[in-house]
Amino acid sequence: MTAATKAPAVLRTARTASAVPRWARRAAAAAVWVTLPSGLWRVAVVLGVPLGLGESEYDAMLLPGWGLLILPLLSLAQEGAAWLTLGLVRPWGERWPRRLPWLGGRRVPVAAAAVPAALGALACTIYGVLFVWTTLHAEMDITVWGQWLMNACYLPMVAWGPLLGAVTVHYVRRRRVHG
């Protein structure tokens, strides 16, 4: 492989303040992808897909009832929050979109993105630890295959906090150094 055919380790777009390394772009994308399976699992529960859950588990999720609204909204909120991670490696995380009144086109203050992201990383990491603890110690009304499927869908979420944390640290360093 020649130097001309190698992919660059650092990608730079014309609109970002400075180069964003490939690992940071991949970590931000991974933060979006690791949240997807659990959201899809909740949507499957709402749609009535048999997932090996006992009746008491549906009752705990308020199904039927408010759970029909809460579970999809939780999935959308979770995925929306995960998508915000991309702003830490994309131009829209450095400048407010022009369509926003009063802020449009201005630079995003580093703290405006970094503080919520850091708090989110901490919250997601704590959630991941609590998920593992709860899963190992819970007595759920669920079949063995249902437990396996649920764990397979929720386990990737454990990576969300650390991925978001790494991208947040990179964002702060990159924005502080390169203005």
| Interval 108-123: pLDDT, tens | 999 999 999 999 999 9
Spatial separation of the C-alpha atoms in residues 19 and 129, rounded to whole Å? 33
> How far apart, in Å, are the Cα atoms of 177 and each of 17, 19, 92?
10, 11, 18
Residue 124 within any structural domain of the chain: yes
- Give the model confidence (pLDDT) of 86-98 as tens digits: 999 999 899 988 8
Whether 8 is covered by a domain: the verdict is no
pLDDT tens-digit map of 147-171? 999 999 999 999 999 999 999 999 9
Domain residues for the domain of 38 are: 20-178
Q: Are 137 and 90 in contact (CB under 8 A)?
A: no
5 found inside a domain:
no
Would you say residue 74 has pLDDT above 70?
A: yes
d(CA 25, CA 46): 33
Mean pLDDT, the chain, rounded, equals: 88
Report if residue 103 sits inside a domain.
yes
Residue 38 lies in a domain: yes
Instruction: Give 11's strand partners.
Output: 20
Averaged pLDDT, 52-71 = 93
Contacts of 166 (CB under 8 A, 6+ apart): 24, 27
Count how many residues are written for the chain. 179
Counting the structural domains of the chain, the total is: 1
Nearest to 55 by CA among 154, 152, 146: 146
Examine the pLDDT at 65 and tell me if it is beyond 70.
yes
Indicate if the pLDDT at residue 2 is higher than 90: no
Asked if the model's pLDDT at residue 31 lies above 80, the reply is: yes
Residue 6 lies in a domain: no
Please check the confidence at residue 6 and state whether its pLDDT lies above 70: no
Residue 12, pLDDT score? 45
Please check whether residue 72 lies inside any domain of the structure. Answer: yes
Assigned domain for 129 exists: yes
